[in-house]
């Protein structure tokens, strides 16, 4: 069984009453909720040992900790019956969630720069980025949508751009969905991705029209199908503007799902929901979804990248060798090899965040998350240079004109995406 | 950790009266109906279809006396889906509502952001990175 966490759930009415209070009173009310012995006693009766917050956890296998101010119980037991009984004690008022190791690859070892390192070019010659720049092609007139943790729109790389930004909360009521200036990215992942596509200096296609939707909580790294759908609906609503009606549109998804992170009863929902989304985007609206294939190395590919509607992206280094982490293998949907194409995804320099002195920080990060916005940027350059080329035809053009990489088998698909 | 009883089956174990979020798949105009539409027209047609079904569903919920078991009905989108927060009992009934094709649980879930810095390098690559 292992460990699970129970978080106190307030009813909508309770929540509204709490939110209506001034801050100090609200804190007082929360403090008043702290004394609670009934459930602790019930858990002890089941045979779970109570551990006080400051106490060193005993070696005892069956134990729980109550974090009163946070309204949380942490229950740990390998006895399935005890776990089920504890769940029954807590479930009426607590939201139960598994305590799963995040495994989220935080970029602690990436190089962080307080100033942008000066380089003649941030992208190698074979990418064609410099050639596009010399021809005045920057992706202007192409719409790029990014679903991620948000972006820091005041970072030096992005502050001169007009970015359509939408924050989609967990309960996306019309009042709660906010179209505001981009601010919401304590994670830094979305800012890095966005600046690889369209950063003023480090971006592949700085001229694109950006639509950034924050649909992933930076701290929990959680989202929901509803958030994704509401965000995509917002993006597609831009087609109602005459000026956008025929623009090539590319969707960047530097993310994927792990089936063991999703409730068993939900896996089919998530996969079917994503399939439905992708089908509508591609078939009805001619959008090109560019999606990371994952960081699990050879043998494992991740959804939604392996769906046939997506252009799935693996990572190579600047030496054009496949990155050790870059996923590859057969799509469980089509049986075809993935990824479709590759982008630079090792030690890619891009925007990170701003520090307390408002300096714009940069970081080198690695991952198929970074390779994907590179490919998105290249797709935008190609679409800008070839008006009318979009959707499936744009996808095919990228595959046909990729730089073939010899001797690396199917780890990089058609090869390195490039502007030609 | 085994999936059974690990807390990953919340929908299975929850009480009947508990409010959970579900995704309803709705009927939508056929591709043939949309074939000659531009993007803006398609957007309008798909949205309007979903909105009509949502309106119809709201009336149906009232008529069936299910309003007490429904906490929220989400906004219509072009993706022929509606998100409804309701009890399990109501959710079962909703699957038979007019215009509804299917219903699935739709709680939040974690995603993986594919930046790789903390993952260990493969041995052969670690060697190739050495100064030698």
In a domain, B121, yes or no: no
Q: Are A257 and A303 in contact (CB under 8 A)?
A: yes
* pLDDT at residue B14 greater than cutoff 70: no
Chain A, chain B: beta-carbon pairs less than 8 Å apart: 235
State the CATH number of the domain containing residue B35. 3.30.70.100
ipTM for the whole complex: 0.71
A-chain residues near B77 (CB < 8 A): 229-230, 232-233
A-chain residues near B81 (CB < 8 A): 225, 229, 273, 276
In a domain, B85, yes or no: yes
Question: Which one of A262, A276, A370 has the shortest CB-CB distance to B115?
Answer: A370
Cα separation, A117 vs B90, whole angstroms: 58
Catalytic hit among A155, A185, A189, A327:
A189
Distance, C-alpha A226 to centroid of its chain: 15
In a domain, B4, yes or no: no
Q: How many CB atoms lie within 10 A of CB A20?
A: 9
- Residue B21 lies in domain: 17-109
B91, containing H or E segment: helix B88-94
Q: How far is the alpha carbon of B64 from chain A, nearest alpha carbon, in Å?
A: 24
Question: Which one of A83, A225, A280 has the shortest CB-CB distance to B23?
Answer: A225
Positive or negative, the CA dihedral A79, A83, A86, A88 is negative
A-chain residues near B105 (CB < 8 A): 263, 265-266, 269
In a domain, B1, yes or no: no
The DSSP code for B68 is G
The answer to whether residue A327 is catalytic is: no
SS3 (DSSP) at B64: coil
The answer to whether residue A189 is catalytic is: yes
Token pair 């969707």 is at which residue?
Answer: A251
Cα separation, A411 vs A296, whole angstroms: 12
Cα separation, A153 vs A168, whole angstroms: 17
Contact A105 B115 (CB under 8 A): yes
Cα separation, A256 vs A241, whole angstroms: 31
Asked if B119 is an interface residue toward chain A (Cβ–Cβ < 8 A), one would say yes
Cα separation, A407 vs A418, whole angstroms: 19
Contact B111 A265 (CB under 8 A): no
Catalytic hit among A214, A312, A366, A369:
A369
SS3 (DSSP) at B70: strand
Residue B12: the pLDDT is 56
The answer to whether residue A155 is catalytic is: no
Alpha carbon dihedral A152, A154, A156, A162, in 10-degree steps, equals: 100
Q: Domains, chain A, ranges and CATH?
A: 2-98 (no CATH), 112-400 (3.40.50.200)
Residue A117's Cβ-count burial label (10 Å; 0-12, 13-18, 19+) is exposed
Phi-psi sector, B130: left (phi>0), alpha (psi -120 to 50), beta: beta
* pLDDT at residue B2 greater than cutoff 60: no
Q: How far is the alpha carbon of B63 from chain A, nearest alpha carbon, in Å?
A: 24
Total domains in the fold of chain B: 1
pTM greater than 0.95: no
**Closest residue by Cα to residue A411 from A322, A336, A313:** A322
In a domain, B124, yes or no: no
In a domain, B127, yes or no: no
The vertex-A128 CA angle with A126 and A131, nearest 5°, equals 125
In a domain, B118, yes or no: no
The DSSP code for B67 is G
> pLDDT (tens digit, 0 to 9) for every residue of chain A, 420 residues total?
477 777 777 666 666 676 677 666 766 666 566 556 788 888 999 999 888 755 555 566 788 887 766 677 888 888 888 988 998 888 877 877 765 433 333 333 467 888 888 888 899 999 999 999 999 999 999 999 999 888 999 999 999 998 999 888 877 777 777 777 766 677 889 999 999 999 999 999 999 999 999 888 777 777 877 888 888 999 999 999 999 989 999 999 998 887 777 777 777 777 888 888 888 899 899 999 999 999 989 999 988 899 999 999 999 999 999 999 999 999 988 999 999 999 999 999 999 988 888 899 999 999 999 999 999 999 999 999 999 999 999 999 999 999 999 888 789 999 999 999
Contact A367 B14 (CB under 8 A): no
B103, containing H or E segment: strand B100-105
Cα separation, A15 vs B44, whole angstroms: 36
**Closest residue by Cα to residue B28 from B11, B46, B43, B44:** B46
Contact A237 B43 (CB under 8 A): yes
Residue B115: the pLDDT is 76
Asked if B35 is an interface residue toward chain A (Cβ–Cβ < 8 A), one would say no
Measured N-to-C along each axis, helices A225-237 and A264-279 cross at an angle, to the nearest 10 degrees, of 10
Scanning B71-90 for CB atoms below 8 A from A yields 71-72, 74-75, 77-81, 83
In a domain, B48, yes or no: yes
Cα separation, A315 vs A326, whole angstroms: 5
Percent of chain A with pLDDT over 90: 48
Question: Which one of B1, B15, B114 has the shortest CB-CB distance to A367?
Answer: B114
What b/e readout covers A373-382, taking b as 16+ CB neighbours within 10 angstroms? bbbbbbbbbb
Residue of B3, B27, B112 to mutate for A, most A C-beta atoms under 10 A:
B112
Cα separation, A398 vs A417, whole angstroms: 6
C-alpha atoms less than 13 angstroms from C-alpha of B14 in its C-beta half-sphere: 22
Report which of residues B122 and A165 the model is more confident about: A165
């Amino acid at each position: 069984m292992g460990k699970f966490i129970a978080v106190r759930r307030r009813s909508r009415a309770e929540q509204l009453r709490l939110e209506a209070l001034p801050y100090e009173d609200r804190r007082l009310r929360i403090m008043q909720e702290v004394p609670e012995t009934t459930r602790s006693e019930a858990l002890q009766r089941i045979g779970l040992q109570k551990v006080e917050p400051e106490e060193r956890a005993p070696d005892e296998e069956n134990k729980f900790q109550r974090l009163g101010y946070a309204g949380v119980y942490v229950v740990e037991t390998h006895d399935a019956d005890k776990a089920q009984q504890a769940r029954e004690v807590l479930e009426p008022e607590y939201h139960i969630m598994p305590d799963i190791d995040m495994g989220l690859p935080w970029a602690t070892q990436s190089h962080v720069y307080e100033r942008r390192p000066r380089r003649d070019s941030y992208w190698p010659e074979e990418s064609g980025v410099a050639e596009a720049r010399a021809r005045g092609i920057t992706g202007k007139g192409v719409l790029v949508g990014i679903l991620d943790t948000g972006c820091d729109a005041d970072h030096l790389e992005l502050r001169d751009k007009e970015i359509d930004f939408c924050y989609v909360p967990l309960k996306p009521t019309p009042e709660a969905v906010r179209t505001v200036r981009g601010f919401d990215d304590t994670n830094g992942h979305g800012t890095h991705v966005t600046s690889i596509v369209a950063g003023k200096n480090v971006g592949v296609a700085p001229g694109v029209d950006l639509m950034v939707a924050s649909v992933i909580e930076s701290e929990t790294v959680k989202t929901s199908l509803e958030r994704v759908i509401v965000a995509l609906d917002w993006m597609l609503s831009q087609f109602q503007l005459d000026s956008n009606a025929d623009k090539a549109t590319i969707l960047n998804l530097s993310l994927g799902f792990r089936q063991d992170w999703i409730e068993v009863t939900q896996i089919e929902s998530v996969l079917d929901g994503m399939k439905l989304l992708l089908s509508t985007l591609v078939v009805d609206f001619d959008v090109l979804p560019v999606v990371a294939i994952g960081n699990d190395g050879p043998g494992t590919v991740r959804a939604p990248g392996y769906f046939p509607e997506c252009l799935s992206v693996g990572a190579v280094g600047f030496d054009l060798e496949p990155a050790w982490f870059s996923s590859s293998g057969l799509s469980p949907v089509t049986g075809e090899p993935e990824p479709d194409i590759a982008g630079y995804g090792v030690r890619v320099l891009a925007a990170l965040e701003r520090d307390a002195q408002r300096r714009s920080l940069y970081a080198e990060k690695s991952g198929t998350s970074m390779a994907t916005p590179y490919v998105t940027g290249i797709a935008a350059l190609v679409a800008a240079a070839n008006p009318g080329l979009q959707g499936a035809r744009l996808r095919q053009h990228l595959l046909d004109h990729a730089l073939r990489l010899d001797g690396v088998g199917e780890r990089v698909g058609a090869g390195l995406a490039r502007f030609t | 950790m085994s999936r059974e009883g690990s807390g990953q089956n919340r929908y299975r174990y929850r009480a009947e009266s508990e409010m959970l979020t579900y995704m309803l798949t709705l009927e939508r105009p056929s591709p043939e109906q949309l074939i000659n539409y531009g993007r803006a027209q398609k957007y309008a047609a798909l949205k309007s279809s979903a909105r009509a079904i949502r309106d119809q569903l709201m009336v149906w919920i009232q008529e069936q006396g299910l309003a007490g078991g429904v906490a929220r009905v989400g906004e219509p989108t072009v993706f022929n889906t509606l998100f409804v927060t309701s009890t399990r009992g109501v959710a079962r009934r909703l699957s038979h509502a007019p215009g509804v094709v299917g219903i699935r649980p739709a709680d939040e879930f974690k995603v993986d952001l594919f930046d790789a810095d903390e993952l260990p390098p493969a041995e052969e690559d670690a060697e190739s990175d050495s100064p030698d």
